[in-house]
């Protein structure tokens, strides 16, 4: 895989050596057992896969090169490049100005953009409407587009199945930048609707099978279906794609459920199912799969607590926290500074995003066993600092 030029201050010599050794010993990536860092009184089990993914490293490389090559110009970021507070703060310190917040709220009006300005597209991509506005201002956005190649793969797959007459169901968080971008690109080619979870997928299934009145659909999914969407005909042939940072198991479950709905309602078999349902399994992101599989492997260890490191609004990180919480006490932090002492930690809820201080978070045991992973937008250097902070409390 391509090696990217990422600033050294995001790297960790410790973790780089660990990852290189694991990669050499497990070239086919079939071993999802964690790596044990044994410090005596505290044992830290690092997930087999964690940290920067291909798309994030690609985005960071392009962004920092763009800043270096365009000194003297105004440089804008459409929104957060990735969901990591350290990286986004570093870009701000280098003079980069954010045009929108993570939910698409305008911070700087597009009218103020000049053709001589630089506008970087974040790793999540953006909508066709925003692209059109920037091009109309004379901005050559193709030069500074950091959209993840695996997000673009979803867009391409959507276009392919759209040409075959399928509508698109997008499994994603409706307000997330990537979901908004994918919805925009998919709906340019075919009727498209967004579902957030299995419960909403089941509602779609009930509309397909006429168990619900079609008129209710337009209110229930308001703001999440493409213009001109016709519930009576646009759910007769469908394919499912996803926001790449969703839980892979959730997307697969939604896809399997809707496929079974079509099979039963239209009385299809394995030879005819393609008449109503498109195969889109190849839109799942490899890094999301690897990181989630690594957490499953890590959770086989009998441990005391888990710590997940990453940005508060990082979707893929939140899902890792969700997975860990189902098994044991888990703490979600974005920096070593959130560990106040051996007795206190500032923990973030992955559901509400609120923070609160938790006391006595490290059990009084010897040795204490800690599981640890991080999100795809979290620098390894941050993880190393968390490890150093924990180890500092013990001999």
Q: Give residues with Cβ within 8 angstroms of 126, minimum separation 6.
A: 78, 79, 147, 177, 181, 184
User: Structure tokens of 165?
Assistant: 């007459």
Could you tell me if 276 and 368 lie in one domain?
no
In a domain, 97, yes or no: yes
CA pair distance 101, 134, nearest whole angstrom: 17
CA pair distance 4, 201, nearest whole angstrom: 38
Could you tell me if 244 and 211 lie in one domain?
yes
- DSSP track, 23-52: HHH-TT----PPEEEE-SSEEEEE-SS-S-
In a domain, 3, yes or no: no
Domain of 184 in residue numbering reads as 149-284
Could you tell me if 292 and 261 lie in one domain?
no
Whole-angstrom CA distances from 348 to 8, 165, 322, 323, 355 are: 28, 44, 12, 15, 4
In a domain, 40, yes or no: yes
Last residue of a domain, one of 284, 309, 344: 284
pLDDT of residue 280: 79
Could you tell me if 155 and 279 lie in one domain?
yes
In a domain, 160, yes or no: yes
Which pTM does this prediction carry?
A: 0.90
Last residue of a domain, one of 144, 178, 205: 144
Last residue of a domain, one of 261, 284, 307: 284
CATH of the domain at 93: 3.40.50.11270
**Helix (H) and strand (E) counts for the chain?**
12, 14
CA pair distance 317, 357, nearest whole angstrom: 20
- What is the number of domains present in the chain? 3
Q: Give residues with Cβ within 8 angstroms of 108, minimum separation 6.
A: 76, 97, 98, 99
pLDDT of residue 378: 96
User: Structure tokens of 368?
Assistant: 């204490």
Which residue stretches of the chain have pLDDT < 50?
Answer: none
Q: What is the 3-state secondary structure (H, E, C) of the chain?
A: CCCCCCCHHHCCHHHHHHHHHHHHHCCCCCCCCCEEEECCCEEEEECCCCCCCHHHHHHHHHHHHHHHHCCCCCEEECCCCCCCHHHHHHHHHCCCEECECCCCCECCCHHHCCCCCEEEECCCCCCHHHHHHHHHCCCCHHHHECCCHHHHHHHHHHHHHHCCCCEEEEECCCCCHHHHHHHHHHHCCCCEEEECCHHHHHHHHHHHCCCCCHHHHHHHCCCCECCCCCCCCCCCCEEEEECCCCCHHHHHHHHHHHHHHHHHHCCCCCCCHHHCEECCHHHCCHHHHHHHHHHHHHCCCCCCEEEEECCCCCHHHHHHHHHHHCCCCEEEECCHHHECCCCEEEEECCCCCCEEEEECCCCCCCCEEEEEEECCCCCHHHHHHHHHHHHCCCC
Q: Which of 5, 178, 302, 388 is catalytic?
A: 178
Could you tell me if 184 and 165 lie in one domain?
yes
Q: Could you read off the pLDDT of 189-212 as tens digits, one per residue?
A: 999 999 999 999 999 999 999 999
Other CB atoms within a 10 A radius of the CB of residue 359 amount to 9
Q: Could you read off the pLDDT of 251-260 as tens digits, one per residue?
A: 999 999 999 9
In a domain, 1, yes or no: no
For the chain, helix, strand, coil in percent to 5 are 40, 15, 40
Let me know if 275 is a catalytic residue: no
Could you tell me if 35 and 102 lie in one domain?
no
Could you tell me if 199 and 130 lie in one domain?
no
Question: How distant is the alpha carbon of residue 204 from its chain centre?
Answer: 24
């Amino acid at each position: 895989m391509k090696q990217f030029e990422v600033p050294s201050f995001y790297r960790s010599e410790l973790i780089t050596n660990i990852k290189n050794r694991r990669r050499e010993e497990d070239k086919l990536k079939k071993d999802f057992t964690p790596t044990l860092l044994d410090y005596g009184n505290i044992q830290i089990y690092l997930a087999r896969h964690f940290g920067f993914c291909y798309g994030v490293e690609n985005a960071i490389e392009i962004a920092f090169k763009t800043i270096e090559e365009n000194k003297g110009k105004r440089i804008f970021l459409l929104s957060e490049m990735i969901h990591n507070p350290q990286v986004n703060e570093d870009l701000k310190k280098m003079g980069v100005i954010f045009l929108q917040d993570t939910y698409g709220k305008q911070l700087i009006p597009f009218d103020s953009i000049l053709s001589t300005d630089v506008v970087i597209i974040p790793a999540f991509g953006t909508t066709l409407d925003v692209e059109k506005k920037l091009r109309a201002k004379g901005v050559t956005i193709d030069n500074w587009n950091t959209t993840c190649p695996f997000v673009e793969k979803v867009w391409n797959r959507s276009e392919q199945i759209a040409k075959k007459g399928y509508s698109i169901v997008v499994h994603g968080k409706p307000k997330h930048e990537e979901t908004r971008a994918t919805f925009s690109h998919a709906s340019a080619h075919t009727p498209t609707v967004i579902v957030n979870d299995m419960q909403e997928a089941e509602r779609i299934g009930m509309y397909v099978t006429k168990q619900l009145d079609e008129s209710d659909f337009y209110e229930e999914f308001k703001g999440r279906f493409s213009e001109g969407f016709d519930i009576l005909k646009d759910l007769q042939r469908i394919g499912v794609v996803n926001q790449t940072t969703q839980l892979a198991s959730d997307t697969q479950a939604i896809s399997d459920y809707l496929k079974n709905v079509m099979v039963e309602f239209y009385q299809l078999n394995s030879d005819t199912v393609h008449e109503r349902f498109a195969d889109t399994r190849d839109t799942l992101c490899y890094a999301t799969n690897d990181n989630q599989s690594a957490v499953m492997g890590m959770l086989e260890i009998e441990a005391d607590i888990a710590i997940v490191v990453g940005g508060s609004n990082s979707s893929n990180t939140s899902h890792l926290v969700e997975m860990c919480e189902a098994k044991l006490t888990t703490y979600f932090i974005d920096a070593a500074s959130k560990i106040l002492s051996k007795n206190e930690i500032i923990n973030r809820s992955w559901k509400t995003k609120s923070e609160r201080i938790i006391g006595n978070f490290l059990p009084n045991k010897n040795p204490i066993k800690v599981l640890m992973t991080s999100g795809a937008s979290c620098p390894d250097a941050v993880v190393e600092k968390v490890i150093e902070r924990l180890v500092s409390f013990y001999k």
